[in-house]
Structure 1
Amino acid sequence: MRDAISTQDSISGNARLALDLALTIRHDGHGSVTDDLTDPAGLSAWVRAHPDTVLDAAGFVADEAAVAAVRDLRAAVRALFAHAVRPAEPSPADAARLMPVPDAVRRLNAAAARTPTVPELHWAEDAEPVVRHQAVQGEGELTAALAQAAIAFLAGPDRRRLRACHAPRCVRYFLKEHPRQEWCKPSCGNRARVARHHERHRQNA
């Protein structure tokens, strides 16, 4: 799920985490939309691949309540992503069932408030010291961390580069890296060009 943003090394950690959450809804390559967070095993695997989400990501084990909470939060994030890319169209994966923006904002803020954060100093050798805000472990730790990352992204400069990819079958959001970029990755651009070619030939037939 990370291939769509693996080349975007310049984006902030908050933007990357918010995008990765949105990208848990993706095209499976065979004509269907896949959800990576349908059960506790899927969420557990996703959190373990994202060590910045919780204090003990490597040992994280999700339950049904955590799955429901993260899926609810993701719905709010994707609704706000759709709002952010206007006047362009949102991702087709959920364009017909987006929650109202005020509801999405309330859900995001409520999730962010569930767990407080504390500043942690990180200072690697031969690097400048940096402060990261780490969620205090406890109930709501995961959803709070994800919500806070989404809020930071939506309120930051990276939001202006957010786009929905409209290549055939793609349902991804991505950050635009250069003025002429239309698609989240080259394979989507290839599919879009092939589709346009077939459409022109169909109209001229």
Structure 2
Amino acid sequence: MRRFLAVEFATTIRHDGQSGVTDDLPTPEALGAWVAERAELFDAGLDVAALRCDEELLSEVLAVRQAVRALFARAVRPGPPSPADAHRLLPVDEAMTRLNTAVAREPLTVWLEWPDGAAPSARPLSSTDNQRDKLIAALARATTAFLTGPFRERLRACTAPRCVRYFVQGHGRQEWCKPGCADRARAARYYQRQRAGRSARDEGAGT
């Protein structure tokens, strides 16, 4: 299954499996571990080992995530957004400004390479060695790439009971993010049908 850094970033807010919503990035240490576990999804220019996470960086990352989730909520329209923060989303204009500002944290240029006997190629060249700026910009660039790419139209908010995840549909009829959510949703629908049937029988018996 294809992985998208922007989607994994957005879904660091998720259901805790019990009674509420949890955040996978509650501390700088958790942020560092999350980045390290996904090092292959980041641009090669980010030196994960050299990244030093602290409260200030965590606050900046969470501000970008807030913008990402607001834009994801827009992307899934007319479907419902994730219920985790549907009542307190950033205005879209503010979310886009925040995302674009984050992208600009790492100005990039293009470096031409043309070895003997090989075709010419170009690679992005960063104008900064600041790993914090690179992290913020990489998360924002990944979101921009996702939202402007072909998979945006397959982004959905899972509608299973208690789930608050965003996911990319693997096929056109996929309604839930994972099998466990599908099971819960089907069980809830079955319960509702049974309850509706009992109510109808009770009303019929009372007439």
Task: Write the letter of the residue equivalent to 1:160.
Answer: E
**Which structure: larger Rg?**
2
Q: How does 1:45-56 map to 2 (within 5 A)?
A: 45-51=33-39, 52=42, 55-56=46-47
Residues 1:84 and 2:72 are matched in the alignment:
no
**Cα deviations by residue, 1:119-171 (Å, 9 ceiling, x for unpaired):** 589xxxxxx99866475431522111110111111111111111110101111
Q: Give the distance between the partners of 2:177 and 2:159, measured in 1 at CA.
A: 9
Q: Give the structure-1-normalised TM-score.
A: 0.84
User: 123, 129, 134: which one pairs with 1:137?
Assistant: 129
Q: 1:174 maps to what in 2?
A: 167
Matched residues, number:
188
In the alignment, residue 19 of structure 1 is paired with which amino acid?
V
Selected match of 1:29 from 17, 20, 25: 17
45-54 or 153-162, larger mean C-alpha shift:
45-54
Contact 1:50 1:57 in 2 (8 A): no
Q: Which residue of 1 aligns with 2:52?
A: 61
After TM superposition, give the deviation of residue 61 of structure 1 in Å.
Answer: 2.7
Partners of 1:23 and 1:107 in 2: CA distance: 19
Aligned with 2:93 (options 88, 102, 110):
102
The structure richer in helix per residue is 2
Whether the 8 Å CA contact 1:24–1:35 is kept in 2: the answer is yes
One-letter amino acid of the structure 2 residue matched with residue 111 of structure 1: A
With structure 2 as the length reference, what TM-score do the two structures score? 0.83
Letter paired with 1:89? P
Gaps of 5+ in 2: 113-118, 199-207
Residue of 177, 183, 189 corresponding to 1:184: 177
Q: Which runs of 5+ in 1 are unaligned?
A: 1-6, 122-127
Q: In structure 2, do the counterparts of structure 1 residues 201 and 120 end up closer, same or farther at CA, with 3 Å as the change threshold?
A: farther
Identity within the alignment, %: 53
